[in-house]
Chains A and B, each alone.
Chain A
Amino acid sequence: MNNSKATENARYYRAYVSSYNTNIIQLKTPWVPAWWSAAFPGMGHLMHGAYTKGFVLFIWELVINVNSKINLSMVYSFTGQFDLAKEVINTRWVLLYIPVYIISIWDSYRKTVDINKLYVLASEEKAPIVPFNLTAMGLNFLDRRQPRLALLWSILMPGMGHLYLKRIPTGFFLLLVWIVCTYFSNILTGLHLTLLGNFSEATNVLDIQWALFLPSLYGFALYDAYTLAVEYNKLYKTEQAEYLKREYQLYDLKINNL
């Protein structure tokens, strides 16, 4: 069954299973996507599978932040070196940052509120969920996955938990951004020197600007993979329960026979 055909007469539907991705609408507390957008613009949109906005905002954040040196200035501000904080900020770029940053947070919040309403409508409409998709380029199917395993793979390498869940766009995008930020921040050299106990040298080799992207990337990869595994499990069970009720409730059980 093709997903587009199965849902063409539906007004709202709950899931789209393609060979690249399982996209779903899900209930979320609005502050959660808003918070992730504050940590890294675009993340709140990626959580909802809104990839166009998500990817563009993500790349926007990298370009504008790196050029205006916002992360660097943040570190100087936190550590009380206010003169340096003022000095490093690039005034040619920095004012471009603020409006889009705020809109990405606001838009994540607003979008979540809307999606929560659509979730209620779609759950009521019960349009068919297509559990399986095999195309020339890949195979995807609904399944039960271990949330803890998704978390573990993400801990080992951000994006891998998403690949386990067949969330391919998020998975490979996070992997790419992680590699870029790891490379430019020089964190692995820093880690090496830290493990050898050479703390001052480890601090010196780090690129502050790029290193500050890493915590939010890591946190998001873990959190999103875990919650998606939970949501996909729910979707699997919903689809199967509907199938069983449709196909295997023809039997007329007469208890008084017993």
Chain B
Amino acid sequence: MGAGHTHGSSRSVSDGLYVHGATPLHRLPAEVKLVGLLAFVLTVVATPREQAWAFGVYALLLVGLLATTRLRPGLVLRRMVIEVPFLVFAVLLPFVALGERVDVLGLQLSVDGLLGGFNILAKGTLGVVAAILLSATTTPRDLIVGLQRLRVPALFVTILSFMVRYLDVVVDDMRRMALARASRGFEAKHLGHVPVVAKAAGALFIRSYERGERVHLAMVSRGFTGTMPQLTAPSPTTRQWAVVVVAWALVATVAVTAVVAGDRTAWLVVAG
């Protein structure tokens, strides 16, 4: 390990979705956070939708974790906007789903649809907030290190790391091309302008493809033979793993309780 070379120490500018900070969650190695996130999401998804209280407990846990990261609530809310398209579907569900109906404020709504909508809303929101926690406390570089260490296939990690590196470059290219179009009086106003934008997208694709070839040449010139080097970063300590396992145990206890409670209710319904 590169002793004395702490990465991510002197960042003043934005780096992807990363928000600079020095909290325990920021310091936690990415592989631990990734495993924790996956375990949390799977557990949440496995929780029966009828047990609304369980989702309340999950939400409280997440808010508590959020508080330790000192992220501004406004930032988290803004990033949650990504969820909106799914929420639209969740809101529609009670109106379009079939089955038993219930009267809510004078509207005939499907019971199944209401539960389904709540299911999407609760599980989706919990997942999105958990992912925001990860992306806001982990630099793209550390995420790549984490994925490498979790033995995610090297090709995927390489593609991801190139995406992170070249996204800005390609977006800049795109912006310059749009600026050059606008400077010559073009404005995308109606569908008739689609061919122009499509041709620009094609040109951008070719540019990026050619850049890819040049990048490869430059890599080969420095002795690249097909394997990307393993990046270095501090390894997780046993204690850090233990903290995540304990936290997950808490979540799992809630889930198991919810499943058991759900079974009992179902049994009572059947018996009654």
State whether these chains interact: no
